[in-house]
């Protein structure tokens, strides 16, 4: 372990953030600066070989521009992965066939560098703890609401991992057994109620009424709500209430110093953060209710790259 740290310490990291829509690649300096950043659409493929070939191409594009040779690759990936082995699991709600793909091993074989890979939410939480909304805290819960709903939990400065490395999937907490069907097969998961696709699916009547052929975007739902449209207001209120209720649960479960809410949907509705704080104060159990500060995430799209590089430098620290 010390040998590894000596080698990667104080040298740049090749960071990869593999998202559902975009893949970001960059060099991250030991100071936490992101250089040579690059963003490319993640290929819509079910083939692990095609994904690896794409990732190696992206890495090659930025690798040569590093001020000094990168010593390791840090990977943040959407979807479940075993952080101890770097092997991917099958995502609960897509058909993408990456199950069993040895992501870390394949990237390491092509680059000749050690690879540390983890789920994007774990990477984001580590980044927020070092550079963002969780600075100087050791007990943190992170919940992100965007294309999906995901999460991560850090207690006593360590990410909780679980037996298979997949603990912290907060999006699949069911908050309403009579709620909409989730991609994981259950009813009323947070993801099925509050994610961006869940909002647009619930609002499709809105688009039909306005003469649009397609489902309304999140912005259109927000605009309709601002105009006083009752359906749009009800959809957003239901989503907000689900996130707020889950926030109280998270505080009761984990007694965090901070609960960090991130993702595009929360960024578009910052009042959800305030609503969650109020509910935590009023409804969570003492003394956790007084302790927990509910805050918005600060790092936005850079969280994955920064977290991936921190994971690579601190190999083992959050495992």
Closer residue to Zn ion, CB minimum distance, 103 or 189: 189
Minimum gap (Å) between residue 291 Cβ and Zn ion:
29
| Separation of alpha carbons 26 and 58, rounded Å | 9
Minimum gap (Å) between residue 188 Cβ and Zn ion:
8
Residues 6 or more apart from 146 whose CB is under 8 A from it? 195, 196, 263, 264, 265
Q: Is 291 helix (H, G, I), strand (E, B) or coil?
A: helix
User: Is residue 296 within 8 Å of residue 100, measured between CB atoms?
Assistant: no
Contacts with Zn ion, 19-38, as mask; x by CB under 5 A? --------------------
Give how far the C-alpha of residue 118 lies from the chain's centroid of Cα atoms, to the nearest Å: 11
Minimum gap (Å) between residue 169 Cβ and Zn ion:
8
Closer residue to Zn ion, CB minimum distance, 182 or 224: 182
- Cβ-in-10-Å burial (0-12, 13-18, 19+) of 264 comes to middle
Closer residue to Zn ion, CB minimum distance, 71 or 93: 93
Residues 6 or more apart from 246 whose CB is under 8 A from it? 143, 170, 173, 175, 190
Is the torsion defined by CA of 215, 218, 220, 224 positive or negative?
positive
Minimum gap (Å) between residue 260 Cβ and Zn ion:
21
DSSP state of 281: H
| Separation of alpha carbons 130 and 138, rounded Å | 10
| Separation of alpha carbons 264 and 219, rounded Å | 11
Closer residue to Zn ion, CB minimum distance, 25 or 247: 247
Closer residue to Zn ion, CB minimum distance, 92 or 307: 92
Annotate 161-185 with DSSP letters as a single string.
--TTS----GGG-BS-TTSPBPTTS
Using CB under 5 A as the binding criterion, the count of chain residues that bind Zn ion stands at 4
The three-point CA angle 235-241-246 to 5° equals: 130
Minimum gap (Å) between residue 253 Cβ and Zn ion:
18
Query: Structure tokens of 31?
Result: 């100071």
Closer residue to Zn ion, CB minimum distance, 88 or 173: 173
First-to-last C-alpha distance (Å) of the chain: 13
Minimum gap (Å) between residue 182 Cβ and Zn ion:
3
| Separation of alpha carbons 314 and 212, rounded Å | 50
Closer residue to Zn ion, CB minimum distance, 175 or 182: 182
Minimum gap (Å) between residue 14 Cβ and Zn ion:
33
Contacts with Zn ion, 130-169, as mask; x by CB under 5 A? ----------------------------------------
Minimum gap (Å) between residue 174 Cβ and Zn ion:
7
Closer residue to Zn ion, CB minimum distance, 107 or 143: 143
Q: Which of residues 165-194 bind Zn ion (CB under 5 A)?
A: 172, 182, 184, 189
Residues that bind Zn ion (CB under 5 A): 172, 182, 184, 189
């Amino acid at each position: 372990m010390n040998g590894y740290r000596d080698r990667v310490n104080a040298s740049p990291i090749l960071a990869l953030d593999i998202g559902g829509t975009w893949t970001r690649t960059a060099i991250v300096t030991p100071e936490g600066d992101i250089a040579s950043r690059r963003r490319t659409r993640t290929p819509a493929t079910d083939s692990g070989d095609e994904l690896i070939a794409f990732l190696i191409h992206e890495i090659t594009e930025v690798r040569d521009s590093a001020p000094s040779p990168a010593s390791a690759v840090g990977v943040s990936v959407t979807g479940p992965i075993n952080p101890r082995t770097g092997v991917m699991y099958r995502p609960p709600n897509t058909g993408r066939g990456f199950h069993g793909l040895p992501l870390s091993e394949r990237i390491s074989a092509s680059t000749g560098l050690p690879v540390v890979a983890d789920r994007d939410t774990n990477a984001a939480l580590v980044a927020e703890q070092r550079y963002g909304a969780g600075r100087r805290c050791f007990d943190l819960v992170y919940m992100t609401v965007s294309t999906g709903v995901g999460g991560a939990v850090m207690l006593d400065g360590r990410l909780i991992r679980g037996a298979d490395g997949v603990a912290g999937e907060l999006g699949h907490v069911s908050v309403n057994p009579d709620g909409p069907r989730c991609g994981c097969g259950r009813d009323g998961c947070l993801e099925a109620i509050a994610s961006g696709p869940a909002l647009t699916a619930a609002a499709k009547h809105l688009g039909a009424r306005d003469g649009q052929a397609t489902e309304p975007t999140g912005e259109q739902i927000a605009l309709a709500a601002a105009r006083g449209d009752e359906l749009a207001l009800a959809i957003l209120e239901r989503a907000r209430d689900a996130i707020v209720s889950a926030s109280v649960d998270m505080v009761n479960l984990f007694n965090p110093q901070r609960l960090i809410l991130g993702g595009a949907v929360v960024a578009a509705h910052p009042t959800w953060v305030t609503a969650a704080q109020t509910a935590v104060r009023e409804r969570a159990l003492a003394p956790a209710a007084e302790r927990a500060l509910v805050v918005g995430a600060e790092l936005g799209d850079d969280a994955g790259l920064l977290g991936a590089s921190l994971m690579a430098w601190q190999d083992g620290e959050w495992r």
